[in-house]
Copies of this chain bind each other. A is one copy, B any other.
Amino acid sequence: MSSPFPLPDPMRRALALARAAEAAGEVPIGAVVTRDGIIIGEGENRNRRDHDPTAHAEIVAMRAAATHLGDFRLTGCDLWVTLEPCPMCAGAISHARIARLYYGVGDPKGGAIEQGPRLFAQPQCLHRPEVYGGLAEAEASALLRDFFAARR
């Protein structure tokens, strides 16, 4: 089953990156950063390949975009990711001043945006992006379901 509307190009690219991660033996999650609709950073889960506990797709994409811009803040940029971000990535999104967060499917086990700690709703939170969830529920959840089913 696919989405009932055409997926935006950045989310299609994030899904392609998630498939590339899976082909490399990583958890299939992908992310891109856009500015004015142009992709300026890409990432896929690289924990195992890079020996890096922080190498989630969102972190990899935001670090690439910040290097591209020569700035530690991504003011006015948007992040597109296949899965609802975890607390680590949600914190990084806030530090980076991401303007809009788009994600494919919610993550009841590890998500930190609409469930669990709901980090952007915490009074401590200094910067909250606009949030648009559920953009690619069928595609993103199928990827993760197939990945974990194949490992059982």
Interface set of A (CB-CB < 8 Å, partner B):
47-48, 50-55, 59, 62-63, 66-67, 69-74, 86-92, 94-97, 109-110, 112, 115-117, 119, 122-124, 126
Contacts and interface: CB of A to CB of B under 8 A. Distances in A.
A69 B50 CA distance: 11
Copies per complex of this chain? 2
A100 to B, nearest CB: 16
27 contacts: A48-B72, A51-B67, A52-B66, A52-B67, A52-B72, A53-B73, A53-B92, A53-B95, A53-B96, A54-B54, A54-B62, A54-B63, A54-B92, A54-B96, A87-B87, A87-B88, A87-B91, A87-B94, A87-B119, A88-B88, A88-B89, A91-B91, A110-B124, A110-B126, A112-B124, A116-B124, A117-B119
A69 B52 CA distance: 10
Nearest to A72: B47
Given A87-B90, A88-B92, A117-B119, A53 B70 contact: no
A98 to B, nearest CB: 9
Nearest to A86: B91
Contacts of A70: 51
